[in-house]
Amino acid sequence: MTTRQERGAVRQLRRFGDALLSLVYPPVCAGCTSAVSRSPAVCAACWRDLRFLERPFCEVLGLPFAVDPGAGLVSPEAIANPPPFARLRGTVLYQGLGSRLVASLKYGDRTDLVPLMAGWMGRAGAELLAEADLVMPVPLHARRLLRRRFNQSAELGRHLARTHGRRFEPMMLRRVRATRSQVGLSASERERNLRGAFVLDPHRVADLKGRRVLLVDDVFTTGATVSAAARTLLRGGAAAVDVLVFARVAAGGS
């Protein structure tokens, strides 16, 4: 059997396995578990509960505008408090099904949602992915990673890097200080909470010099987490840092 024939046989075997699996576990909606034609997917009703972020939005923060102010404009938030990262793109607003999908992946061990969520992220951040030299997830501290068993941002980033042919670097940026939960903290408290939380692996930092980094996270709320990570990367020699998240709040600047 030739290599081409072998690949064809593998594809046929995979299709047969997928068909058999769908008979045992029929595909269901990622939002409400109603029946759908394929998985991963959401039903029509759940689709209407998603608010995808599309232009017009702030070219820096990805913050949606109520009206179109013209191409290339930035929000007052970005002008008043410029972030250390160059551009942020979000996929959906952090509300309704968007927030439930994040919670299901993060706390419900729903790693089966990664292809669906990362697929949407890939479309929202296509321009960022096209220009990225390295894809990195926002890291978890070792103790939190041990409790959760996986880093949801790393799972999303790994899928994005693989499907878009980018270099994935999950270990170059590390979280060395266990910080308290950001929930309920003010912007200044969040910044203090994250001071010194991130470092670069000294054995890998040479590969960062002059590279454009795409930092991947699940949610963007105030910007404190990704800003602290971006500053660490820029101090280490990154040419620029962009940010791609699954969900972001409607206003504010995680």
CATH number of residue 81's parent domain: 3.40.50.2020
Order of strands across the sheet that contains 240-248: 87-93, 240-248, 212-220, 134-137, 167-168
Position 17 confidence tier, pLDDT thresholds 50, 70, 90? very low
In a domain, 254, yes or no: no
Question: Do 72 and 148 fall within a single domain?
Answer: yes
Question: Do 166 and 100 fall within a single domain?
Answer: yes
pLDDT at position 66: 81
* Tokens 């990673």 belong to residue: 145
Task: Look at phi and psi of residue 197 and say left if phi exceeds 0, alpha if psi is from -120 to 50, else beta.
Answer: alpha
Position 23 confidence tier, pLDDT thresholds 50, 70, 90? very low
Distance CA 54, CA 34 (A): 27
Chain mean pLDDT for the chain = 87
Q: Exposed/middle/buried for 119, CB within 10 Å: 0-12, 13-18, 19+?
A: middle
Paired strand residues for 137: 216
- Contact (Cβ atoms closer than 8 angstroms) between residue 105 and residue 152: yes
Question: Do 134 and 19 fall within a single domain?
Answer: no
Q: When comparing pLDDT for 113 and 14, which is higher?
A: 113
In a domain, 6, yes or no: yes
Q: Give residue 122's identity as a one-letter amino acid code.
A: G
Question: Do 99 and 214 fall within a single domain?
Answer: yes
Q: Is the pLDDT of residue 1 over 60?
A: no
Looking at residues 138-156, what average pLDDT do you find? Answer: 91
> Tell me: the pLDDT tens digits for 93-133?
999 999 999 999 999 889 999 999 999 999 999 999 999 99
In a domain, 13, yes or no: yes
Looking at residues 146-175, what average pLDDT do you find? Answer: 95
Position 251 confidence tier, pLDDT thresholds 50, 70, 90? confident
- CA atoms within 13 Å, Cβ hemisphere of 123: 11
In a domain, 218, yes or no: yes
pLDDT at position 19: 45
Q: Give residue 116's identity as a one-letter amino acid code.
A: L
In a domain, 118, yes or no: yes
Tokens of 214: 């795409």
Question: Do 97 and 207 fall within a single domain?
Answer: yes
Question: Do 32 and 105 fall within a single domain?
Answer: no
Q: Is the pLDDT of residue 252 over 60?
A: no
Distance CA 94, CA 107 (A): 16
Q: What is the DSSP string of 119-188?
A: HHHHHHTHHHHHH-SEEEEPPPPHHHHHHHSS-HHHHHHHHHHHHHTPEE-SSSEEE-S-PPP-TT--HH
Domain boundary among 26, 48, 70: 48
Domain count, the chain: 2
Question: Do 103 and 38 fall within a single domain?
Answer: no
Question: Do 82 and 201 fall within a single domain?
Answer: yes
Position 6 confidence tier, pLDDT thresholds 50, 70, 90? low
Question: Do 150 and 69 fall within a single domain?
Answer: yes
* Tokens 């969520």 belong to residue: 117
In a domain, 76, yes or no: yes
In a domain, 172, yes or no: yes
What global pTM score does this model have? 0.85
Closest CA to 219 of 250, 191, 247: 247
pLDDT at position 131: 98
Least confident of 13-27, 30-44, 179-193, 237-251: 13-27
pLDDT at position 168: 98
In a domain, 253, yes or no: no
> Tell me: the pLDDT tens digits for 175-223?
987 776 666 666 667 667 787 889 999 999 999 999 999 999 999 988 9
pLDDT at position 61: 95
Q: Count of CB atoms within 10 A of residue 84's CB?
A: 18
- Non-local CB neighbours of 1 within 8 Å, separated by 6+ positions: 9
Question: Do 121 and 34 fall within a single domain?
Answer: no
pLDDT at position 117: 97
Question: Do 204 and 221 fall within a single domain?
Answer: yes
Question: Do 55 and 98 fall within a single domain?
Answer: yes
Q: Exposed/middle/buried for 115, CB within 10 Å: 0-12, 13-18, 19+?
A: middle
Domain that holds residue 156: 50-248
- Non-local CB neighbours of 177 within 8 Å, separated by 6+ positions: 141, 196, 197
H-run or E-run covering 213: strand 212-220
